[in-house]
């Protein structure tokens, strides 16, 4: 899958997990990659891996939910790596609880990172895409968008991203910009390990229990998500827009 080496991508929440795998995959595809996360130093191992493999990358610190930080991050990438015409809105957090126990802070925090963060980063980046007459935005939703007990905040944020994706695809299509969403099922990362710890389950047992319910018979790994991101970002995917791809080892949606 070839992509022009001149392209620059921003991957948010890329210091670890799914975002780190996406950053490395896009670098392998030939893009220069801004590895963005809350703490710049935490991005260094991913950047070093990319540089060692012969790619181009930049560590960028910033909170995507902060308007000024989001704009500053995009400006820095444009100046130091090149105008970003690929954006992967991957940063996300969970603050699970049943509705009657869910705090307003936990509601705001989850919607703040996923929805507000994706909005701020997309708004700041789109001008570079429109100027180039080409762009790719990929938003990380979740199968939780279909409803998941204990995740009213997360499900609302991830379902909100679907409306956001479809709307941006209509607004930006005429500028050569495609906008798509990936809705992963269960992917083994620090985020899901924290869930296992919270409910007091052994990690391996947690993985085995989940795998038993997944048609392909295993849980997903970050690279399973990086692969379809690579497709949506590729030059040949210019007629694929406004779509939601469930990547969950079986049917969803």
Give the residue numbers annotated as catalytic, written as ranges. Answer: 154
Does residue 72 interact with ligand NAD by CB under 6 A?
no
| Residues of this chain, 27-66, that bind ligand NAD according to CB under 6 A | 37-38, 63-65
Q: What is the DSSP letter of 97?
A: B
Give the closest residue to 14 by CA, choosing from 55, 52, 54, 47.
Answer: 47
Reading the block at residue 52, the tokens are: 């060692």
The rounded distance, in Å, linking the Cα atoms of 143 and 122 is 22
Helix 152-172 with 104-111: angle, nearest 10 deg: 30
Tell the smallest beta-carbon distance from residue 192 to ligand NAD (Å). 5
CB 82 within 8 A of CB 56: no
Does residue 172 interact with ligand NAD by CB under 6 A?
no
Query: 82: phi > 0 → left, psi -120 to 50 → alpha, else beta; which?
Result: left
Does residue 85 interact with ligand NAD by CB under 6 A?
no
Does residue 249 interact with ligand NAD by CB under 6 A?
no
Tell which one of 3, 17, 106, 172 touches ligand NAD (CB under 6 A): 17
User: Phi and psi at residue 217, in whole multiples of 5°?
Assistant: 80, 20
Tell which one of 3, 12, 118, 126 touches ligand NAD (CB under 6 A): 12
Tell which one of 184, 224, 232, 249 touches ligand NAD (CB under 6 A): 184
- Pair type for strands 135-140 and 177-184: parallel
Tell which one of 107, 119, 164, 186 touches ligand NAD (CB under 6 A): 186
The rounded distance, in Å, linking the Cα atoms of 36 and 147 is 29
The rounded distance, in Å, linking the Cα atoms of 63 and 91 is 9
3-class SS at 196?
A: helix
Tell the smallest beta-carbon distance from residue 174 to ligand NAD (Å). 28
Does residue 146 interact with ligand NAD by CB under 6 A?
no
Tell which one of 23, 113, 121, 159 touches ligand NAD (CB under 6 A): 113
Tell which one of 9, 10, 11, 18 touches ligand NAD (CB under 6 A): 18
C-beta neighbour count of 199 within 10 angstroms? 9
Nearer Cβ to ligand NAD (189/230): 189
Tell the smallest beta-carbon distance from residue 4 to ligand NAD (Å). 26
Query: Which region among 79-87, 145-153, 189-197, 226-234 touches ligand NAD (by CB under 6 A)?
Result: 189-197
Contact set with ligand NAD (CB under 6 A): 12-13, 15-19, 37-38, 63-65, 90-93, 113, 117, 140, 142, 184, 186-187, 189-192
């Amino acid at each position: 899958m070839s992509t022009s080496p001149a392209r620059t991508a921003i991957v948010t929440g890329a210091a670890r997990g799914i975002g780190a795998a996406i950053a490395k995959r896009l670098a392998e595809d030939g893009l220069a990659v801004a590895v963005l996360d809350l703490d710049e130093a935490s991005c260094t191992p991913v950047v070093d891996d990319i540089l060692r493999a012969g790619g181009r990358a930049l560590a960028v610190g910033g909170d995507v939910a902060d308007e000024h930080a989001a704009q500053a991050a995009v400006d820095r990438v444009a100046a130091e790596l090149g105008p970003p015409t690929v954006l992967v809105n991957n940063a996300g957090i969970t603050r699970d609880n049943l509705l009657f126990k869910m705090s307003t802070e936990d509601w705001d925090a989850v919607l703040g990172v996923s929805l507000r963060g994706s909005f701020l980063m997309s708004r700041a980046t789109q001008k570079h895409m429109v100027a180039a007459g080409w762009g790719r935005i990929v938003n990380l939703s979740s199968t939780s968008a279909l409803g998941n007990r204990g995740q009213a905040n997360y499900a609302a944020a991830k379902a909100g991203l679907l409306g956001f994706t479809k709307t941006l695809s209509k607004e930006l299509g005429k500028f050569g910009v495609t906008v798509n969403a990936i809705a992963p099922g269960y992917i083994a990362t620090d985020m899901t390990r924290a869930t296992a710890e919270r409910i007091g389950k052994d990690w391996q047992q947690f993985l085995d229990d989940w795998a038993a319910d997944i048609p392909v018979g295993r849980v997903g790994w970050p690279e399973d998500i990086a692969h379809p991101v690579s497709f949506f970002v590729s030059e040949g995917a210019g007629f694929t827009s406004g779509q939601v791809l469930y990547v969950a080892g079986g049917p969803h949606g």
